[in-house]
Chain A
Amino acid sequence: MEKHKTFTVALCGNPNSGKTTLFNSLTGSHQRVGNYGGVTVETKEGICRYNNYRFRIVDLPGTYSLSAYSIEEIVTRDYLLHEKPDVVINVTDGTNLERNLYLTVQLRELAVPMVIALNMADEMDKRGLQVNLEVLSQDFGAPVVPTVGTRDLGMKELLDKVIEVGTGRWSGHDNPPIRYGDAIETELQKISQMIEDSRNSLPNGQAAGAKPATLIDSPKWLAIKLLENDQNIVQHLQQTHLWDSLSEQVQYSQKYLNSLFGEDPETIIAEQRYGFVRGVCRSVIRLTAEVRANYSDKIDLILTNRLLGLPIFAVMMYLTFWLVFTVGEYPMGWIESGIGHLAARLNEVWPAGQWQTLQSLLTDGVIAGVGGVIVFLPNIMLLFLALAMLEDTGYMARAAFIMDRMMKWVGLHGKSFIPMLTGFGCSVPGILGTRVLDNQRDRLTTMLVLPLMSCGARLTIYMLIIPAFFSGPRAALVMYAIYIIGILVAVLCARLLRSTLFQGETSPFVLELPPYRIPTFKAVVLHMWQRSWAYLQKAGTIILLMSILMWALTSFPKPSADKLASLTSRQTAEYQLQHSFAGRIGRTIEPVLKPMGFDWKIGTALIGAFAAKELFVSQMGIVYSLAEENPDTDQAQDTTEPLRRQLKANYSPLTGFCIMLFCLIATPCMATVAVTRRESGKWSWAMFQFWGLTLIAWILTTLVFQLGSLLRLGTS
């Protein structure tokens, strides 16, 4: 019986073909869907059940082709070659069939079991595009199912076909692969024959005439790739014994075809594939109505207009900031009072004088720590809402289009702008997003300077400090200045890196500008929710643990009672903290911090901020609420406002600014270091980033503090 059988189904398609939306429709696990090319850089998985079958759905990166040009293409091809999914769903954008089917041709060459999803069927109707499904199915030897990913339409029919193909019951057409014309076919035959012969003559290893274990062993496919000069395959074959004789034949064939066509074989092969696709499109597409003037083009006339483009871009960015900061203030207030209320209630119901360590742990460790983080959740949710809107409408790609000239000047790619912008939310997804860059130098440069984009977690620090020292228009000005400084330092660092470590041309800027689309409410809200939930989880696990650890560091070891006997209650608290682990570490590094105007308390909080930048706030909270602890008063109120008062009483505005400046530039958080390590592939890059940024931060902050003190700027 085939009941409960599990199929592995891979989704494969061009960027912007709606592949991820389709994935969401199938699995119900809602992921990031963007209009920007290559948002899905990692393979994602989801489970789907239908008709007693179980489907493991794998969302592969969006690619235009299966050559080894970018990381996405290599990932996709390797997955298809080595993991061998039971069925591949080729997601195509029906409104842009000609280019989308180029990938379909290559999938057919790979001879994978395939179902073609003709996506965006609703938009095709609107444009009066009719496709003859039967003929299209014949031409590619695969079933074709019209779908609308955004409205969950066609999913049952799609899965029905997946089952048919997966169980081998699909009775459709089994077409021979496309032919490249006699001249090329003859050369392909020669090369594949050589591969075949040398394999058969192998004394051991692959048995003679055995079926190829993977497609890499399929002689015809290898021959095509060799003629195309596919570096990935060349490297693969260079390690085998047949390379010497083979490379000679390949070079000969390439030369011969070059002289015959006046072009290299890779061009001829691409042209042949497109020729085939064009033929298919001619026979299957029928235009039933005159296409109206494209609404997307009209929008673009304004949004990327030569005169209006940049001002509109600036306004977009301003609106984003306004949404995040100004609108976000209201829910922040509600959450703050809620948390204060919670801590107060807890102290109220606590049996007096009992389990005081636990009480302190809960109010000072847990509530002060996590509470101080949750307070800023509205900012983060709104930021991700804005980013989701920018991505899903298609404006993000235009942002890259508009900004490319400037980014190129910095030594980066227009595509770098998107990960950099994401960095304002959080460096971690930003660094992951650098995978959209094809060129390793561009990727590393972007990755290394990305933490200078002030992230949402650092916003928690600014939101604590700015109201404490700056009011009115100056508050907004300081906030703006901090962000600008981050960008300027990033520009300088990027230029420096490009002219030293990463010399060379910037990578090509071939960027698709997808049509503007109205984002679905569901997609945007889910996107926002997912990102915020990820932040909360981080806050809920790492930050809670770190808060408790830091509470312990600031609470223990306890000084002996006789030492405290002669001190007032305030002095007692101070002494206790100085005596604790944190105080000792803070004191140890104080000489290094002093030139920046920091005391050991700030040093203690900075230690905690390595775990996650937002921890600086809860650290300061704990440091100060412990230092000022007085058991007779109800100290468990809103923790942010009293902390601001403490800051104001203890530090000058200059020091406040220096704290922000240092936190902006220095020591990316634990998670950033970990992700940089993973994405760059080397610990040395992560360490280079960590110490490099910390050193720059120290130098800059020291300069600002010393100059500021000298000129008496903000010292009172």
Chain B
Amino acid sequence: MTHEKNLNDLAPGTEGIILRIRNTSPIKKRLLEMGLIKGETIHKVKLAPLADPAEYIVKGYHVSLRREEARDVLLEP
């Protein structure tokens, strides 16, 4: 299985474009409703002091996601 690029692959300070949310994500609906939808640019601001979670900017606001949640947000390669 080839690796699908996801939010965890982003280095802090860089950004990517959302492709889709994995269907296996238990919080798919919540992520969609918070604006993490296809075509949206998402910027990774930084990691928390203990390396998890990470802070992102999407649709102009800041949101914090854990690694295990960010893994399900796939990005355009």
Contacts and interface: CB of A to CB of B under 8 A. Distances in A.
A513 B62 CA distance: 5
Interface stretch (A75-83, A147-155, A267-275): A267-275
A414 B48 CA distance: 12
A677 interface: no
A401 B47 CA distance: 9
A263 B39 CA distance: 14
B25 to A, nearest CB: 9
Interface in B15-67: 20-21, 23, 26-35, 37-38, 45-53, 55, 59-66
Given A98-B59, A404-B64, A274 B37 contact: yes
Contacts of A67: 29, 33
Interface stretch (A473-481, A504-512, A605-613): A504-512
A306 B66 CA distance: 16
A401 B26 CA distance: 21
Contact of A102 (B35, B47, B66): B35
A404 B63 CA distance: 13
A709 B50 CA distance: 41
Contact of B46 (A270, A271, A304, A310): A304
B32 A512 contact: no
Contacts, number: 120
A305 B47 CA distance: 8
B64 to A, nearest CB: 5
B20 A263 contact: yes
A95 B59 CA distance: 11
A405 interface: yes
Nearest to B69: A508
Contacts of B33: 64-65, 67, 69, 102, 270
Interface in A93-118: 95-96, 98-99, 102
Contact of A310 (B21, B26, B29, B49): B49
Nearest to B32: A270
Contacts of B51: 405
Interface residues of A, number: 41
Given A267-B28, A402-B48, A64 B34 contact: yes
A309 B35 contact: no
A65 B35 CA distance: 11
A69 B30 contact: yes
A505 B49 CA distance: 23
B29 A510 contact: no
Interface in A23-78: 64-65, 67, 69
Contacts of B47: 306
A307 interface: yes
A406 B69 CA distance: 17
B49 A264 contact: no
Contact of A513 (B26, B28, B63): B63
A402 B49 contact: yes
A460 B75 CA distance: 54
B65 A510 contact: yes
Contacts of A95: 60
A134 to B, nearest CB: 23
Contacts of B50: 310, 402, 404-406
A65 B34 CA distance: 8
A221 B3 CA distance: 39
Which residue of B35, B45, B60, B62 has the most chain A CB atoms within 10 A of its CB atom? B62
Contacts of B52: 404-405, 408
The 9 closest A-B pairs by CB, nearest first: A405-B50, A309-B49, A513-B62, A270-B32, A508-B27, A65-B33, A511-B64, A509-B66, A310-B49
Given A64-B33, A505-B26, 20 more contacts: A69-B30, A99-B60, A263-B20, A270-B37, A300-B62, A304-B46, A304-B48, A305-B49, A306-B47, A309-B49, A310-B50, A400-B64, A401-B64, A404-B66, A405-B50, A405-B52, A408-B66, A509-B69, A510-B31, A510-B63
Interface of B: 20-21, 23, 26-35, 37-38, 45-53, 55, 59-66, 69
14 contacts: A98-B35, A102-B33, A266-B29, A274-B35, A306-B46, A402-B48, A402-B49, A405-B50, A406-B50, A414-B53, A508-B26, A508-B66, A510-B31, A510-B64
